[in-house]
Structure 1
Amino acid sequence: MTSKTTPGLRLAVVLCCFSDDRRGELDRAVRAARGQLSPETDELVVVVDHNESLRDWLTDRFPEGVTVVPNREERGLSGARNTGVAATEADVVVFLDDDAALRPGGLEAVRRAFADDTVVAIGGAVHPRWQSGAAPAWFPEEFGWVVGCDYRGLPPDGSEIRNPIGAAMAVRRDALLKAGGFSHRLGRVGSVPAGCEETLMGIELRRLFPESRIVRIEDFAVDHNVPRSRANLRYFTDRCLHEGRSKAILSAMVGAGAGLSSERSFVLRTLSTGIARNLLRTVTGTPSAFTRAIVIVLGLFVTAFGTVSRTLTGGRPQVSQPVLGLAAAESPVTEDELVSVVIATVGRPSLLDTVHAVLAQTHRNLELLVIDNRPQQGLASALVAEIDDPRLRVVEEPVPGVSAARNRGAAHARGRLIAFTDDDARPDPDWVAHAVSTFAADTNGVVGIVTGRVLGTAAATVEQEWFEEAKIFDKGADATIWALRHEGTTDELGAYGEHGPFFPFTAGECGSGNNMVFRRSALVSIGGFDERLGTGTPTRGGEDLDAFRAAILDGWAIAYDPHAIVRHYHRDNMDDLRIQSYGYGTGMAASLTKLVLSGPSGAWAVVRRLPRGLHMLLAPTSAKNVDLPREWPWELRLREAWGYVAGPCLFLRSRRARVERLDLT
């Protein structure tokens, strides 16, 4: 992380807005922030979340001194904030709510805080400004977070905190980018009162920068408007329910230890004493105190119910509504679209050929991100050190595993299309161009992923000949669409693929991880790659198939374009083939184990398909085995079968290792 602590520290204030009903509050927030900016170094960015009339009003209202931009990501607060970060190159980004007016001296307090190299982020003091004049008598001060404000139980000024309150927080921009910004799986969308995106940000910052601090600075203060519509019990319970659901999603992403660490202390210390205090005040003659005690219990129960119910149903495989609203909200993909190509690597010598092949693409508007997954060795940087091309960047990801590396690449990618290939593959010169053309032909915006054909780079050994003949990577010469619904795509994209007995829960027919291009909004909607799966983890694979399955279940289509070709260096000896075959089994079984553990519906989806699945795995005439060459050794089949047996245990080991790693941060 680069720290800049000079007096010329550049600040960017980012305000996100979506509603015409809050124009008065927004005007007040913009003017309060603008009055504290340093004209020489600072800037004010207002991001409008898919509301053209509000954007036009802001542009007319503030013709100078304010940069007004539309949310360029998926609708919601997380996407708007990410857009704001991308719109500036300031050292520190200050996030304020559109109904939170900065108090005098707030930005100066931000500058003082970041003069400390160890501070990576800060949270301010958020004071409620009730439209009704005061909080309702029944409202407990322990639940100030329900209305986005401070609450009893917060640490004192200058203390370390896990995460800030979103209405007033500031983060070093380079650190936030490395953490991947804000997750679209969390956070408010329109008027839906979800949250926890700041919590995930705080956890990621501490994981990436374990020596850094997130601190509470009370001089960095705002007055946060609380409208009458939020001063009622219905909003209170609705907010608690959505907070509980967000906590469940967060815990699934980072582990319950990290996701609920502060909440346990809050319940045991703050809420329990809050109940006792209010009951005592009831005895001493404050009747409303008894109501507050009851509301504390109610809030705790509703939040817990939201967490438990979302945990039990969160992994349920279900069919989304058509995603036309997601992709159609974006501008159409053009033939000159910026494409971000991501290569995860541990520094294998073959990386150099892959990099040269990507930089030689006929589609010139691209950037290449090489993700060094063993940065302590520095092999990747050394391999590409002599390449002088401004499109090439090397990004470090110390957490082992191809999924973590790919997620890091996606977080740094600037393009709406993010392509992935391996460091032992060589894309054909028109690989990217064909993938872009497929997305451009998707006029309805239903295609979330484009996969392509994978052929061998050479067949110098009999083992490579076996692998090529087996068509393990090669999915054939016919353009195919894979989706739950046979609707929404144009004929030129191909015919719809036949649904096999395990579709889409294995998804191997859709393509492979060494040749896949994601629409960013699709990758965001599934939460990226599962970092418990893939090469570099105990499971050894399965992360690409898991992503394909998640995208299809989320309502996206996958387009297989046989003209988008990547050449892969197939394993040239039996020892490597044994390892690879075992990894295919462990990865697939681990991915299915994840589905089984997601809930009753997921478990049933797998169990009821097991008889047909076993037939497909073992029968020589099944679709899986019919293409295997006659010489294909039975030893390799047995290795793969043993991988299926070991996969569930390896997934549990990988899940436990990830939780322990996150808990340590």
Structure 2
Amino acid sequence: MASTTRPDPGVAIIICCYTLDRLDLLVAGIDAARDQLLVGDQLIVVVDHNDELRRELRGRYADSITLVANTGTRGLSGARNTGVATATAEIVVFLDDDATLRPDALAAARSAFADGSVVAVGGAVVANWEMGHPPAWFPEEFGWVVGCDYRGLAADGAEIRNPIGAAMAVRRAELEKVGGFSDRLGRVGTVPAGCEETLMGIELRQRFPASRIIRVTGFAVDHVVPAGRSTLRYFTDRCRHEGRSKAVLSGMVGADAGLAAERSFVVRTLSTGVLRYLRQSVTGQGLAALARIAVLVLGLVVTAGATAAGTLRIRGNRPESRDPATALAAGESSVTAHELVTVVIPTVGRDSLADTVRSILAQDHQHIELLVVDNRPHRGDAVRIVAGIDDPRLTVLDQPVPGVSAARNLGHRMAAGRLVAFTDDDALADPGWISGAVESFRADPVGAIGVVTGRVLGTETTNRVQEWFEEAKVFDKGEVPTVWSLNRHEIGPELGEFGPRGPFFPYTAGECGSGNNMVFRSSALASIGGFDERLGTGTPTRGGEDLDAFRAAILHGWSIAYNPNAVVRHYHRDNMVELRAQSYGYGTGMAAGLTKFVLSENPAPILRRLPRGLHMLLSPNSTKNEDLPTDWPLRLRALEAWGYVTGPFLFVRSHLAGRRSGGAR
């Protein structure tokens, strides 16, 4: 190892391996990496569930490298996460066990991080074909099939969506904040799956929107392509597995984010590739060029077909196409009394946040983690407010993307619990809030409950404005446990009975609960794509994201249980200025949510219900308005009605703003 002083930042090279068959290549890669380390750097070799290989490496290297066994799920993602957990350096560099650093490659990667905006780097992966050259039929555009560079890659220094896994480097702290690599993706043994680097790149950009992922060609490796990967059979297998991985990825982040680069690749790179090979076919390369065209089309068809089939399979496994009675077999209802629950509190730095946090940490259900998501991190108020609260269960996350939906989605992505609870930074949870919600999930015999909501009462009633809000039962849904669902199924007696359906059920979903007291199965929230970031406080629509999520859950086949014993207390607005803004926001949020549905789904159900729905929303004698206090100001009704009028326009505005920033679903 070199003895020169290490400049910042320090690096930890992580090489993951799983088989003795590549031992010679692995040794070459380790030796090349050792030659480029500086004092204070680390070289971590992670062995993926192969004790014989670990013993062989320990005998060869003794204490000159850090040798660890994969403590995570078997496969490349679990091994990489183990390496990250072992690393202490600021930058983690990932190399494949059949890739060898070229001279000065590590220095090129290290220097790229001198730019503070760079969060990750992708290197150049040069194919070293064991047979000396690629097969004559192999199209350059499909170099990714063998894990190497391909025609169409960005130039040196340009931004990329994600690096190629054989040579990539990431800031360790940022990688840990997005949860590392997903074990739902990535290679396991010889199964040629992928996309874990793609998901990592997408999540880094979403979590740190001001950051950049760039390509640095000086950070180069020679990647061995064995003869077994030079066959047409391997080519089609790799394309098929890549398509399946793309389907899983799209299900996790949405098709827009998951397939954006692929669409560009098809339109630009593959189309021009066909023209290139046609020219080559008439300028001396003949049958070989025509074969490349045929294989290029074959690769596109196989990959696209596998993506489509995988997407249909995933949709077919969602709750809407599954009998709830089969959910127990899938383990979805196996909620225990000691279930880990993640509580997410989005905040803009209100002083009331400290009391909210203390109320969560005082829950009688102790097995929780608490994620406070700062939606205005540039001000640092959230960190300041909770600085005096010393509890290992508390973590503060930064979400610079404005809007309560973006904050909640980040909390969900970072959640360790299978149940994820949400409340606001101006609310106080009763000690039995979480335990009450957990009991509702446990009382579900078929695993159909995807959401539990609870009662919301006022923290205080000091003037007539707060009395109005409490008497109007804007948040309080009463004392009767109720289940809301499209289809009746078996429910435990503790869950009550199925609720009546109003004229807009389930499209308004206001009867199901409110966003300051809701607990989701993580799988249910993932199945609907999380909260829509075009809706909610902090966006032009001002609200509606919670009701939109309730509606989506019901339409996806989940049920919502309302438990009046799961109580959260909310600070009701004590002045007319704030109450007017709140009333207007209720109107805009509901109308925006309905507008989204009409524009993106089948509008017929909404249009059929419109006359009766308008009567329910506007008539003083409707079930919605009959509980309003007799002296409820007419101005508040008018503002809510005006919100119904402006909500559709605000949704369009929010949608366009999201498209410009690339942040909205």
Per the normalisation by structure 2, the TM-score is 0.78
Query: Counterparts of 1:546 and 1:134 in 2: how far apart (Å)?
Result: 55
Q: What is the CA distance between 1:264 and its match in structure 2?
A: 3.7
* 2:383 equivalent in structure 1: 381
Alignment partner for residue 427 of structure 2, among 425, 428, 451? 425
Q: Which has the higher contact order (CA 8 A, sep 6+)?
A: 1
* 1:572 equivalent in structure 2: 574
Asked if structure 2 preserves the Cα contact closer than 8 Å seen for 1:180 and 1:408, the reply is no
* 1:636 equivalent in structure 2: 636
Asked if structure 2 preserves the Cα contact closer than 8 Å seen for 1:183 and 1:524, the reply is no
The 3-state SS of whatever aligns with 2:564 is strand
Q: What is the CA distance between 1:136 and its match in structure 2?
A: 6.5
Moved more, 535-544 or 408-417: 408-417
Q: What is the CA distance between 1:564 and its match in structure 2?
A: 0.9
The 3-state SS of whatever aligns with 1:426 is strand
2:146 equivalent to 1:150: no
Asked if structure 1 preserves the Cα contact closer than 8 Å seen for 2:535 and 2:541, the reply is yes
* 2:170 equivalent in structure 1: 171
Q: What is the CA distance between 1:398 and its match in structure 2?
A: 1.6
The 3-state SS of whatever aligns with 2:603 is helix
The 3-state SS of whatever aligns with 1:565 is strand
* 1:562 equivalent in structure 2: 564
Asked if structure 1 preserves the Cα contact closer than 8 Å seen for 2:137 and 2:289, the reply is yes
Q: Deviation per CA, 1:338-361, whole angstroms, max 9, x where unpaired?
A: 332221111222222212222222
Q: What is the CA distance between 1:261 and its match in structure 2?
A: 6.4
2:273 equivalent to 1:277: no
Q: What is the CA distance between 1:431 and its match in structure 2?
A: 1.2
Asked if structure 1 preserves the Cα contact closer than 8 Å seen for 2:252 and 2:526, the reply is no
Larger Rg: 2
Alpha carbons of structure 1 residues 454 and 32: separation in structure 2 relative to 1, 3 Å: farther
Query: Counterparts of 2:42 and 2:539 in 1: how far apart (Å)?
Result: 44
Query: Counterparts of 2:629 and 2:531 in 1: how far apart (Å)?
Result: 33
What stretches of structure 2 of length at least 5 have no aligned partner? 1-5, 59-66
Query: Counterparts of 2:336 and 2:587 in 1: how far apart (Å)?
Result: 39
Q: What is the CA distance between 1:538 and its match in structure 2?
A: 0.4
Alpha carbons of structure 1 residues 644 and 488: separation in structure 2 relative to 1, 3 Å: same
Asked if structure 1 preserves the Cα contact closer than 8 Å seen for 2:47 and 2:54, the reply is no
Moved more, 649-658 or 620-629: 620-629
2:112 equivalent to 1:113: no
Q: What is the CA distance between 1:449 and its match in structure 2?
A: 2.3
Alpha carbons of structure 1 residues 89 and 555: separation in structure 2 relative to 1, 3 Å: farther
Amino acid of the structure 2 residue aligned with 1:202: G
2:481 equivalent to 1:474: no
Q: What is the CA distance between 1:34 and its match in structure 2?
A: 8.2
Alpha carbons of structure 1 residues 242 and 384: separation in structure 2 relative to 1, 3 Å: closer
Alpha carbons of structure 1 residues 220 and 233: separation in structure 2 relative to 1, 3 Å: closer
Alignment partner for residue 99 of structure 2, among 103, 106, 111? 103
User: 1:516-535, aligned counterparts within 5 Å?
Assistant: 516-535=518-537
Alpha carbons of structure 1 residues 417 and 585: separation in structure 2 relative to 1, 3 Å: same
Moved more, 186-195 or 132-141: 186-195
2:436 equivalent to 1:437: no
Alignment partner for residue 370 of structure 1, among 372, 397, 401? 372
Alpha carbons of structure 1 residues 472 and 253: separation in structure 2 relative to 1, 3 Å: farther
Asked if structure 1 preserves the Cα contact closer than 8 Å seen for 2:46 and 2:70, the reply is yes
Amino acid of the structure 2 residue aligned with 1:643: G
Q: What is the CA distance between 1:363 and its match in structure 2?
A: 2.3
Moved more, 189-198 or 281-290: 189-198
Query: Counterparts of 1:622 and 1:206 in 2: how far apart (Å)?
Result: 47
Asked if structure 1 preserves the Cα contact closer than 8 Å seen for 2:408 and 2:531, the reply is yes
Q: Deviation per CA, 1:601-650, whole angstroms, max 9, x where unpaired?
A: x3333333323322322344433223323332333222222212211211
Alignment partner for residue 485 of structure 2, among 483, 486, 489? 483
* 1:626 equivalent in structure 2: 626
Query: Counterparts of 1:558 and 1:611 in 2: how far apart (Å)?
Result: 26
The 3-state SS of whatever aligns with 1:608 is helix
Alpha carbons of structure 1 residues 516 and 103: separation in structure 2 relative to 1, 3 Å: same
Alpha carbons of structure 1 residues 163 and 86: separation in structure 2 relative to 1, 3 Å: closer
User: 1:112-511, aligned counterparts within 5 Å?
Assistant: 113-114=109-110, 116-118=113-115, 119-125=118-124, 138-145=137-144, 149-155=148-154, 160-166=159-165, 169-179=168-178, 198-199=197-198, 201-206=200-205, 208=208, 210=210, 212-216=212-216, 219-220=220-221, 222-223=223-224, 226=229, 230-231=233-234, 260=260, 263-264=263-264, 267-268=267-268, 270-283=269-282, 284-293=284-293, 296=296, 319-322=320-323, 328-329=330-331, 332-442=334-444, 444-487=446-489, 489-511=491-513
Asked if structure 1 preserves the Cα contact closer than 8 Å seen for 2:72 and 2:82, the reply is no
Query: Counterparts of 1:442 and 1:131 in 2: how far apart (Å)?
Result: 57
Asked if structure 2 preserves the Cα contact closer than 8 Å seen for 1:586 and 1:647, the reply is yes
Amino acid of the structure 2 residue aligned with 1:556: W
What is the number of equivalent residue pairs in this alignment? 633
Amino acid of the structure 2 residue aligned with 1:338: L
Query: Counterparts of 1:221 and 1:555 in 2: how far apart (Å)?
Result: 50
* 1:614 equivalent in structure 2: 614
Q: What is the CA distance between 1:276 and its match in structure 2?
A: 2.5
Alpha carbons of structure 1 residues 70 and 246: separation in structure 2 relative to 1, 3 Å: closer
Moved more, 189-198 or 543-552: 189-198
Amino acid of the structure 2 residue aligned with 1:571: R
RMSD of the TM alignment (CA)?
A: 4.7
Amino acid of the structure 1 residue aligned with 2:504: F
Asked if structure 2 preserves the Cα contact closer than 8 Å seen for 1:617 and 1:624, the reply is yes
Query: Counterparts of 2:616 and 2:484 in 1: how far apart (Å)?
Result: 19
Amino acid of the structure 1 residue aligned with 2:661: R
